[in-house]
Structure 1
Amino acid sequence: MTAVPSIVPVILSGGSGTRLWPMSRAERPKQFLALTSDETMLQLTARRTPEDAGYAAPIIVGNAAHADAVEDQLNAIGVAPSAVILEPMGRNTAPAIALAAIAAGAGEQPLLVMPSDHVIADVPAFHAAIAAALPLVSDGWLVTFGITPDAPETGYGWIKVGAPIAEGVHHVDRFIEKPPLDRAEAMLAEGGHAWNGGIFLFRADRYLEVLNREAPDMVAAAQASMDKARRDGIRVWPDADAFAASPSDSIDYAVMEKAQRVAVVPVAMGWSDLGSWDALDAISDSDDGGNTHAGEVIAVDTNNCFVRSDGLRVALVGVSDLIVVASGDDVLILPKGRSQDVKKIIEALKAR
C-alpha cells in the first residue's frame, strides 16, 4: 500500500468581512482581527494544521489587497505557506479552490479546505474527524464535515446524513438550502441532520475531475490563469484576464451537490462561523451582569450588553440587551438579536 501524501491545508481568506462592521472592513476583514483570543482568526486557523502533526505547508487563497497582512500574520506565528495565491477578483469558492488544487500539483494530495475566519474550540475532535475521513478520501471520495446542530439555524445550509460508510463517516443523503424556521426546527427535532460548515477534504485530482465535468469553463479559466501567473517568492498572482473568464460559483453548487461519492463526517467541535456580533457574543465570557466587553468600557446599572471598542472609551448607564461596537470614527448600536441587520448599515453607507 502506498503512503498517503501529507494533507495540504487550503485556507480561504478572500472574505470582505462586512458582517462585523465597524471593526471588520473590506480593507481589514474579520480573518485579520483578534476576536476570540490574542491571535487573529487567520492565525488560529493556520495553527490547527501544524507540520509536526503530519500536515504540509498551507496554501492560502486570498485577496490581492491583503498580501502583506497574510504574510505578516503567518510569519508572526512561524507558519510558512507554500503559496499565497492572490485572486485578482472574487469568483466564489469553487474557482478559488481550483487555483489551490492546481498549485498543489493537481495530483493525489488530500486538500483540507478551511475558511480562515471560523472558530473551532475542540481541535482534537476536528483532527479525529479528519482521520476518520482520510481513508475514504484516499479512495477518491469527497468529504464534508457536518456540524452537530444545537439550534434551528436558518442562516446555514443543512445536510441530511445518510447511511454509514465507515466508522464515523456517512453518505450525504442530500444538501438542503438555508431553510425557513419551521423546517429548521423540524430537522433539529428529527435528528440525522447537520449544518454545512464549509470545511472539506478531498484529493486535488478528484476535485478538479468533478469540477471539469460539471463546469469545464471554470477549470479552463483557473488553469490558464495559473499558467500565466506572475510569481514572486511564495506569492502567486493568477492572470487577471484569464481568471475573469471563470464563472462564479460556490463549491457546494458546482461540485458537492453534483458529485457521486460524497460523504459527511458529523462532528461536534465547538464550531462557529462568527457571522455576526450576536454569534461572537454567544461564545464570549460575560460578567456578573451578563455583559461581555473588550476595550475601555464602563458599564453602570447595565445588563446583558455586548460592548467592544478598539480605541474610544464607551460608557453605558441603565441599558440592557444592546450591542455596542466602536472602531475608529464609527460606533454601531443595535439591539441584541438584530446584528444581521448590519448589512442595512453597509447598504446605507454605500448609498451615501
Structure 2
Amino acid sequence: MPDSKPIVPVILSGGSGTRLWPMSRAEKPKQLLSLTAEETMLQLTARRASGERFGAPIVVANAHHADMVEEQLAAADSVARALVLEPIGRNTAPAIALAAIAAGGGAEPLLVMPSDHVIADVDAFHAAIQAALPLVRDGWLVTFGITPDSAETGYGWIKVGEAIGEGVHRVERFVEKPPRDKAEEMLAQGGHTWNGGIFLFRADIYLGALSSYAPEMLAAAQASMEKGRREGARIWPDADSFAASPSDSIDYAVMEKAPRVAVVPVTMGWSDVGSWDALHAISHADAGGNVVRGDAVVIESSNCLVRVESGKRVALVGVEDLIVVASGDDILVLPRGRSQEVKKIIEAMRKGD
C-alpha cells in the first residue's frame, strides 16, 4: 500500500453518554457538548485527525443527531466524507463495518476513534499512528494501548507481547475489566496497558476478519448499506437489514480472535471522560481544588466540581468533595468518588416514568 494513501478518520458518535447526566442526554450526548474546552468533544476529535496525512472523516452517528454533527464539524473546519446514520445501536463492531464499507472496503487505513475521548498530547498520538502504519500496510490490526497510571477496574487491559516493530508489540492477550486486586497486580507488573478503544487498520482487512469471525454481522452491514438511502454525504443504512446484525464490540468480534493484532503503547494524556469524577480530574482547578463552570458561587469549599447551564445560580458554602451539576430543570448532587452511580439515578427515573 503506498505511503501516500491518506488515513481515513472514522469517528464513532453513536453513544448516549448517560454517565454525565444531567448535561449529557439522549437528545444531546456528551460528544456534542463543550465539556473540556470551548469546542465540543466531537470537534476536538475531528481536529486531532486533520491535516495532510488524513482524509475527510467518516462519522457514524445516531440519525437524530445528523444536523448537529454536520453543524459542529463545519464549525471545526471539517466536512464529513460520509455521515452514516445508524438506525439502531448495535455496538462498535457493526458500526465500524458500516464505516469500512462507506470507505470503499479497500486498502484505505481507517483510524477508528470514539468521539468523546480527550487526548491532551496530540503529537504523541500522531507519533503512535506513524509507528503503527508499517504494520497496518502489511495487514495487521492495531490498537493503541494507554499507559496506565492507576489500577483502573473500569477499562479492559492489554498484555503487551513481543516487539514486532519500533514501538509496536504483538498483543499477548486482552484482559476483561478486572477486579481491583488483578488491576493492582497488572499495574505493579508493568507490561500492560489500558484498552482505549482506538484502532488503526485497513478497511479490507477488517471486513475480511469479520467474514471469518462474524459473518452474520458482515452480511447484515453489507445488506443495510446496499439497501440504504443516500443524500449528499448522509447515508441511512436499511433499518431491517441492520437490525439483523448481532450486537458486539470490536474487541469481542474481531480483536480477540484475529491472529495478527498489535498494540502501540502510548502516553498521550488520554481520558474517556466517563464520569464527573473523571472530568474533575482532567480539568484546571482553582487553589482550593474546585472546578467551577457557569453561574456559581463557591465559598470556603474545596475539591468540588460545579457545572451550571440552566439559567439558575448555584451557591456552595463550607462543603468539600461534592459534584453539583445543574442543567435544564435537573440538578445533580453527589459526593466525589461516586459519580459512576449516576446510572442508578437514570434507572430509577426510567422506572418512575
TM-score norm. by structure 2 comes to 0.98
Task: Report the equivalent of 1:180.
Answer: 179
Please show how residues 80-159 of structure 1 align to structure 2 within 5 Å: 80-159=79-158
Q: Could you give the per-residue CA deviations for residues 210-255 of structure 1, whole angstroms, max 9, x where no partner exists? A: 1111110100000000001101110000000110110100000000
Please show how residues 257-296 of structure 1 align to structure 2 within 5 Å: 257-296=256-295
Comparing 233-242 with 284-293, which one deviates more in the overlay?
A: 284-293
Measure how far apart 1:49 and its partner are: 1.1
Please show how residues 52-67 of structure 1 align to structure 2 within 5 Å: 52-67=51-66
Q: Could you give the per-residue CA deviations for residues 138-197 of structure 1, whole angstroms, max 9, x where no partner exists? A: 000000000000000000000000000011000000000000000000100000000000
Task: Report the equivalent of 1:16.
Answer: 16
Measure how far apart 1:3 and its partner are: 3.9
Q: Secondary structure at the match of 2:319?
A: coil
What is the aligned-residue identity percentage?
Answer: 72
Amino acid at match of 2:152: E
Work out the number of aligned pairs and report it. Answer: 351
Q: Secondary structure at the match of 1:161?
A: strand
Amino acid at match of 1:103: A
Q: Secondary structure at the match of 1:124?
A: helix
Please show how residues 209-220 of structure 1 align to structure 2 within 5 Å: 209-220=208-219
Amino acid at match of 2:315: A
Measure how far apart 1:4 and its partner are: 4.5
Whether contact under 8 Å (1:17, 1:28) holds in the other structure is no
Q: RMSD across aligned C-alpha pairs, in angstroms?
A: 0.8
Please show how residues 245-324 of structure 1 align to structure 2 within 5 Å: 245-311=244-310, 312-324=312-324
Unpaired segments ≥5 residues, structure 2: none
Comparing 304-313 with 264-273, which one deviates more in the overlay?
A: 304-313
Amino acid at match of 1:28: K
C-alpha separation in 1, matches of 2:294 and 2:146: 32
Amino acid at match of 1:330: D
Amino acid at match of 1:257: E
Task: Report the equivalent of 1:35.
Answer: 35
Whether contact under 8 Å (1:160, 1:176) holds in the other structure is yes
Amino acid at match of 2:318: G
Measure how far apart 1:17 and its partner are: 1.3
C-alpha separation in 2, matches of 1:96 and 1:221: 11
C-alpha separation in 2, matches of 1:108 and 1:197: 24
Comparing 2-11 with 13-22, which one deviates more in the overlay?
A: 2-11
Q: Secondary structure at the match of 1:172?
A: strand
Is 2:277 the partner of 1:240? no
Comparing 125-134 with 75-84, which one deviates more in the overlay?
A: 75-84
C-alpha separation in 2, matches of 1:343 and 1:271: 23
C-alpha separation in 2, matches of 1:72 and 1:47: 14
Whether contact under 8 Å (1:158, 1:194) holds in the other structure is yes
Q: Could you give the per-residue CA deviations for residues 295-351 of structure 1, whole angstroms, max 9, x where no partner exists? A: 011011111111111132110111111000010000000000000000000001101
C-alpha separation in 2, matches of 1:304 and 1:248: 40
Whether contact under 8 Å (1:289, 1:304) holds in the other structure is yes
Comparing 295-304 with 5-14, which one deviates more in the overlay?
A: 295-304
Whether contact under 8 Å (1:161, 1:172) holds in the other structure is yes
Cα 1:2–1:281 shift into 2, 3 Å: closer
Q: Secondary structure at the match of 2:201?
A: strand
Amino acid at match of 2:236: W
C-alpha separation in 2, matches of 1:252 and 1:168: 22
Q: Could you give the per-residue CA deviations for residues 109-134 of structure 1, whole angstroms, max 9, x where no partner exists? A: 00000000000000000000000000
Unpaired segments ≥5 residues, structure 1: none
C-alpha separation in 2, matches of 1:244 and 1:23: 29
Please show how residues 70-81 of structure 1 align to structure 2 within 5 Å: 70-81=69-80
C-alpha separation in 2, matches of 1:117 and 1:79: 17
Task: Report the equivalent of 1:204.
Answer: 203
C-alpha separation in 1, matches of 2:202 and 2:285: 42
Q: Secondary structure at the match of 1:304?
A: coil
Please show how residues 189-200 of structure 1 align to structure 2 within 5 Å: 189-200=188-199
Amino acid at match of 1:327: S
Whether contact under 8 Å (1:4, 1:138) holds in the other structure is no
C-alpha separation in 1, matches of 2:284 and 2:109: 37
Is 2:194 the partner of 1:228? no
Measure how far apart 1:53 and its partner are: 2.9
Over 6 Å off, 4+ runs: none
Whether contact under 8 Å (1:322, 1:333) holds in the other structure is yes
Comparing 297-306 with 337-346, which one deviates more in the overlay?
A: 297-306
